[in-house]
């Protein structure tokens, strides 16, 4: 315990905790909707788009967020538009967009600077290297996203469980589908520095997946998912620091272990 308290005295740990908790909460909230609507792979797909936008930003010598945010948001809208208007499966659309983005990112990297430190940090995660400006941006955007979720909570609930009934209540389902895409895109961009583009989907999917085994109500899923996300993030940070492991991978391993334990306990209780 003394070692953990000592750990909190480091400024880079404090920045990581503030950013990580804020981003984890946002990811858990939107993850509930994505998992229930069987759209959970969008996080992985947009992570690949984030990688491509990152390589473009580095090649142009521009701040990554300035390029990543608009490009990932546009990609999320394209995925939603094709899925909604063309009748294509969401998973197929995500696969097409993510594969294309990954190919473009690799080409840009190969003809420009190569896989340098900045690219590696965003691919595999480097939350312990976050600056004060990263903290401010992450926290402010997280507050906005959580506020949007709270304000539109009832409508998001209806859209998640019954789009037809939501339409009969006069809710513009398409608008809120794009709102969900927008929130997901912003979370992916914010989470790239934390988890890396390769593991960002775990931040979105696992909390809701684990929470589904604990409760069936929407409110229960939201609360449980948020708590699980924060606890797993903190445990991942501790594991990363004391075992000298990559932060993003450590958090993902904690999620996996908890998911396996929760499923085993759930089957044992039902048996």
Residue 217 has pLDDT above 90, yes or no: no
- Amino acid 174: pLDDT: 85
Arithmetic mean of pLDDT, 54-80: 84
Highest mean pLDDT among 6-10, 57-61, 156-160: 156-160
CATH T-level fold of 2-266:
ABC transporter involved in vitamin B12 uptake, BtuC (1.10.3470)
Domain chopping of the chain, boundaries: 2-266
Average pLDDT along the chain:
82
Question: Which of 135, 95, 118 has its CA nearest to residue 12?
Answer: 135
Cβ-contact 172, 70 below 8 angstroms: no
Arithmetic mean of pLDDT, 166-176: 86
Q: How far apart are CA 171 and CA 180, in angstroms?
A: 14
Mean pLDDT check: name the lowest of 75-89, 114-128, 167-181, 195-209.
Answer: 114-128
- Amino acid 256: pLDDT: 92
Q: Quick one: how many helices (H) and strands (E) in the chain? A: 13, 0
Share of the chain above pLDDT 70, in %: 88
Residue 114 has pLDDT above 70, yes or no: no
- Band (pLDDT 50/70/90 cuts) for residue 231 is very high
Q: How far apart are CA 227 and CA 24, in angstroms?
A: 9
Q: Is 220 exposed, middle or buried (0-12, 13-18, 19+ CB in 10 A)?
A: middle
Top pLDDT among 120 and 235 is at 235
**pTM score of the predicted model:** 0.84
Share of the chain above pLDDT 90, in %: 7
- Band (pLDDT 50/70/90 cuts) for residue 161 is confident
Question: Which of 245, 149, 138 has its CA nearest to residue 192?
Answer: 138
Top pLDDT among 177 and 123 is at 177
């Amino acid at each position: 315990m003394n070692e953990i308290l000592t750990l909190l005295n480091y400024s880079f740990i404090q920045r990581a905790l503030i950013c990580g908790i804020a981003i984890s909460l946002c990811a858990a909230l939107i993850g509930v909707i994505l998992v229930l609507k069987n759209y959970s792979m969008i996080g992985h797909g947009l992570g690949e788009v984030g990688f491509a936008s990152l390589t473009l930003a580095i090649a142009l010598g521009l701040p990554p967020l300035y390029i990543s945010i608009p490009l990932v948001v546009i990609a999320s809208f394209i995925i939603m538009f094709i899925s909604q208007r063309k009748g294509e499966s969401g998973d197929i659309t995500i696969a097409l967009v993510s594969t294309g983005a990954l190919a473009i990112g690799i080409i840009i990297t190969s003809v420009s600077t190569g896989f340098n430190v900045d690219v590696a940090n965003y691919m595999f995660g480097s939350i312990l290297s976050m600056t004060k400006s990263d903290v401010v941006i992450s926290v402010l955007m997280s507050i906005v996203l959580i506020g949007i979720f709270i304000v539109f909570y009832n409508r998001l609930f209806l859209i998640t469980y019954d789009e037809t009934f939501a339409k009969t209540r006069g809710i513009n389902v398409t608008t809120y589908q794009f709102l969900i895409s927008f929130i997901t895109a912003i979370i992916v961009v914010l989470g790239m520095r934390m988890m890396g583009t390769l593991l960002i989907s775990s931040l979105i999917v696992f909390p809701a997946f684990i929470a589904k085994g604990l409760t069936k109500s929407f409110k229960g899923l939201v609360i449980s998912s948020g708590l699980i996300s924060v606890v797993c993030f903190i445990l991942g940070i501790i594991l990363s620091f004391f075992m000298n492991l990559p932060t993003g991978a450590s958090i993902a391993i904690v999620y996996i272990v908890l998911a396996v334990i929760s499923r085993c306990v759930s089957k044992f209780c039902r048996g």
